[in-house]
Structure 1
């Protein structure tokens, strides 16, 4: 396993591409693609409560949960040996709902062999006047 230090971080574009793969799985309703991006011990912290990897994947069993998305204000922070924290603002729309929602996301990625895997994510919704 390749060691990573704060002086040798991955490129932000590479981690953002991995994060987008999670969003693409939600856009296409593909639980298998979603699961490939999440660690077995994944934990999501959402306004609705906690969710593990199986919960995150099961949300896609009936198909897509979003109809579109965009990300901005991406920042990548070192988070200890072999970990990075991607933080960003996301805008997304949901099936059958008008308008767009916005939230801040903090997503922890862990070095896994030659690649990276998402082990934690936390969403903080923005209020109507916050964006």
Structure 2
């Protein structure tokens, strides 16, 4: 698959995950996450169950916009999707932004997200 084709395919899947956060659709979220999914977030690590479990109380995101997406092949059947997410959490008045890196693995049923790391885009440099 060409890089533009791979980028479009993975960005569509990533957008589906974000839409699940907006609609509170835990099943859609869980379908795209591999059982061995690992998330690395500012507040720590999370597995698939924790990611899906955040939707137990309903939607967690009110709106979102993804931009600056790029893809990097990591070898046969693996790719990294990186982008900026501007979003608003439900029940909050301010917008937030972060840079996201997601590793996707091609499985017999399609692409599954195996890793994601969120880096707040607050402009602070590391010490």
TM-score, shorter chain, exceeding 0.5: yes
- Where structure 1 has 5 or more consecutive residues not aligned to the other structure, the ranges are 1-6
Is 2:107 the partner of 1:115?
A: no
In 2, the alpha carbon distance for the partners of 1:103 and 1:51 equals 17
Give the TM-score normalised by the residue count of structure 1.
0.89
In 2, Cα distance between equivalents of 1:112 and 1:67 = 31
Structure 2 residue 58 is matched with structure 1 residue 63 = yes
CA deviation after TM superposition for structure 1 residue 102, in Å: 0.2
The residue that corresponds to 2:93 in the other structure is 98
Q: CA RMSD in A?
A: 1.7
What is the alpha-carbon distance in structure 2 between the residues aligned to residue 83 and residue 126 of structure 1? 26
Report the alpha carbon displacement of residue 11 of structure 1 after superposing the two structures with TM.
Answer: 2.4
The counterpart of 1:88, out of the listed 72, 76, 83, is: 83
TM-score (norm 2): 0.91
Aligned residues: 124
Q: Which stretches in structure 2 are left out of the alignment for 5+ residues? A: none
